Amino acid sequence: MTERPSDHRVALEPESRRAVVDPHERDIREAVDATRRGNRTAFARLVQLYERRLFSLSVMMTRDRSGAEEVTQDAFVRAFVHLDAYDERRPFYPWLATIAVRLAQNWLTQRTRISRRDGSQLQPEFDTASATVDPLSELIADESDRRLWQTVAALPYGERTTVILYYRQDMAVRDIARAMGVTGGTVKTMLFRARQRLRHTVRDTRSGKERT
Amino acid sequence: MIDELASTMTRLPDPAPPAPLAANVMARIARLPDERSLVTPAEMAAVNAESTGRERLAWGGGLAGVGIAFGTYVYGELAAGTLPDLISSRIGHGPLVTMPIEPGMLVLGLGLLLYLKGLFTPLRRAAHIEHSSGGLRR
């Protein structure tokens, strides 16, 4: 049965995802308030809570370990500097992830420019890092999972980002749209296209698992 | 297929961040200029209240200057009996009467000075704010 975008849109955005409650909400609020009052060390709690998740996002976005470290650090520092702009009525992580996504985008653009200037092989926009060794692939033990991740990593920038933010970072379509500076409809369309492209790999992954 | 993609994406490992990442972030934050702790919201409110008071005073001064200048002019005209008849059709055809030089002129000058002071106050205030924020950044 062929999939239509409308089916896909209905299947997307389950009710539970629309109201994701951060289990550390109280901690976050306290840390944000204390930081705003001038207690810098209180920000360490936020770094501790989201360091791993944000680094994982940055690795998936940049596919470069040192680039991911740079993006993660910059995202935290920028979040600290602009903490007054954070709206406490919204969850903290999507706001932080938005900063990281934009920094990762800048990092990839910069990397593309450098590789073009240096005369290395031209890569599609934002895909320069695909030429390097993917740090996440090295960590995936299961062969079919690794193949699926590599297929995700090879997606065009927009589709890759939406898949990572939606399926891996559990972000709502509305938050993804805000992070990427597009409409919710565009996010849904990109997710639909990504799923179309990933269809065969997912099927292979499933059949491979059934065989084992 | 959605479930399969979702579960595979969930199964992917989280790469461990480099050990000094959090320390590096906090070190960078510690090196940032201390704007937050220097200006508390209460201090900012006090500065704003002071600025508003100064602004009102300047406006009041300016308006008083204009009032004094206008009053002096009208008084001079009345005293000399040369207030133009605004109703008659002879406006502009009467004799040109200048205001007599007397203490009233001093009051008029003072009024003009007050007016000019009020006129340029916003500029001085902007310069003051710029200076203050520059000082905080340092």
Q: What is the mean pLDDT of the segment spanning A174-188?
A: 91
| pLDDT digit string, tens, across residues A110-159 | 887 776 666 554 444 445 444 456 777 777 877 878 888 888 888 888 89
HSE-up of residue A176 (Cα within 13 Å, Cβ side) = 28
Q: Is A69 on the interface with B (CB under 8 A)?
A: yes
Residues in A touching B19 (Cβ below 8 Å): none
Residues near A69 by Cβ (< 8 Å), separated by ≥ 6?
Answer: A55, A58, B17, B18, B21
| pLDDT digit string, tens, across residues A65-110 | 899 999 999 999 999 999 989 998 888 999 999 999 999 999 998 8
Residues in A touching B15 (Cβ below 8 Å): 55-56, 59, 65, 68, 135-136, 139
Q: Is A42 on the interface with B (CB under 8 A)?
A: no
Percent over 70 (pLDDT), chain A: 76
The DSSP output letter for B100 is: P
Residues in A touching B4 (Cβ below 8 Å): 202, 205-206
Cut 0.80: pTM above it:
no
CA distance B58 to B121: 7
B17, A52 Cβ separation under 8 angstroms? yes
For residue A207, what pLDDT is reported? 66
For residue A142, what pLDDT is reported? 78
Which domains does chain A carry?
A: 21-134 (1.10.1740.10), 140-212 (1.10.10.10)
Tell me the three state secondary structure of residue B54: helix
Torsion of CA B12, A156, A111, A175, to 10 degrees: -70
Residue B95 has pLDDT above 80, yes or no: no
CA distance A179 to A40: 26
> Does A53 contact B14 at a Cβ distance shorter than 8 Å?
yes
Q: Say how many Å lie between the first and final Cα of chain B, rounded.
A: 57
Token pair for B105: 């002129």
Å between B1 CA and nearest CA of chain A: 7
| Mean pLDDT of all residues belonging to chain A | 80
